[in-house]
Amino acid sequence: MSDLANELTAATRSMLDRIDIDTETPARGVSDALWAALVEAGFTSVDVPAEAGGHGCDTSDAIAVLSTVIGSGALVPFIEHAMLAAWVSGTAGQDLGQGTATIGVADAGLVVDDSVEPLRVSGIVRDVVHVSAASMLVILLPESENSGARVATISLDHDGVSVTAGRDLLGASIGSVTLDYVPATTANCPVTAAEVRQRGALIYAAAMAAAAGTVRDRTVQYASERTQFGRPLTKFQAIQQRLASMAASTTMMEIASRRAAAAASSAPQSARSATAAAKVVTSLYSHEVAAAGHQIHGAIGFTSEHPLGRSTTALWAWRDRYGAEREWADVIASDVLDAGSDPWDLITGTAPPSGTAAAPDDGHAKPSSTERISQ
């Protein structure tokens, strides 16, 4: 991590040490004290562009804060507000101010009336996470004949807004927002819906890696302290093998998400394939890590009061957010089979930018992937 990421991690941990975090599963609600502290410290706009009121840092720096918060088991709308809504609005030069925002995806049924100022939006936005904790909804409006992509910010307090919400497995509110000719503040947006989905996949991959790390650490500690037949669980070979497998899976999740975050900040030509790989790995191994944690903890790990459940439930709840492993595996397959990308380049992160021509032939044939592997 960068020096700034290390400082942000230390500052966030210090903040968490001063705040009592409820880790019951499902959560009774958002940790308002922690969220207020994060907002006051400016940690909810780390990688938001400076012209939109943010700090303009790298995505990896913002993920350092995210990972620390997720690792603690705290439930706050950090992903939806800081990493998605504020970032999308920031790319369009919009400052969300002091309110809490969440993000939604506009479908084909959303109706936009451009004939009035400000424009009006009607329709239903579904599967909005942390909708009850938010005061604003940020959506990316579809392109039309008269305009390109636009980002719209809508106040959820407007009379034309109706929210129907339940809770996911973790306890976060999730539901639908019905808009009845509601005014929206809009701006031209330089990012596409596909890029927002890619960003969401990257962020949730990092979040699952952080949750998996907590499951690993708690399980190793429990197995070291819990005795059975006169010795710690870690002395049993079967437990050792299960811990080793879980640690290996968690490490792969951490490396994949870290690689994708680095690519998002400094190597946009390989960011999509790196994100696809990270989402495949984290979604694929999330169940294995969660299952191993509960198997070793036994019955106590399934009680609502035990903190293990907050992290394992996060792994189950987030596995298919912004695409499960099958969707992103198809992206990697498409790069190889349809776009002609070299598998070796995808593995090593040296793939050329999409749409660029191949390097001219200098008379020296480039070895195939198979030849390089055999060498």
Q: 187: buried, middle or exposed (CB in 10 Å: 19+, 13-18, 0-12)?
A: middle
What is the pLDDT, as a whole number, of residue 18? 96
Q: Which residue has the tokens 């099958």?
A: 326
Q: Per-block average pLDDT, block size 10, for the chain (375 residues)?
A: 92 96 94 96 94 93 97 97 96 92 88 91 95 96 76 95 96 96 94 93 98 98 95 96 97 96 86 95 97 96 95 97 95 89 77 45 43 38
Architecture of the CATH domain 194-348: Up-down Bundle (1.20)
Q: Which residue has the tokens 């720096």?
A: 61
Q: For 326-349, what is each residue's pLDDT tens digit?
A: 999 999 999 888 888 888 877 776
Q: What residues have CB less than 8 Å from 278, skipping those under 6 apart?
A: 201, 202, 205, 206, 256, 257, 259, 260
Q: 286: buried, middle or exposed (CB in 10 Å: 19+, 13-18, 0-12)?
A: buried
Q: For 235-246, what is each residue's pLDDT tens digit?
A: 999 999 999 999
CA distance 323 to 319: 8
CA distance 265 to 84: 15
**pTM of the complete model:** 0.90
What is the pLDDT, as a whole number, of residue 351? 58
CA distance 35 to 126: 24
Sign of CA dihedral 316, 320, 322, 325: positive
3-191 CATH pick, 2.40.110.10, 3.40.640.10, 3.90.1580.10, 2.40.37.20: 2.40.110.10
**Half-sphere exposure at residue 142, Cβ-oriented, CA atoms within 13 angstroms:** 13
Domain spans of the chain, in order of start: 3-191, 194-348
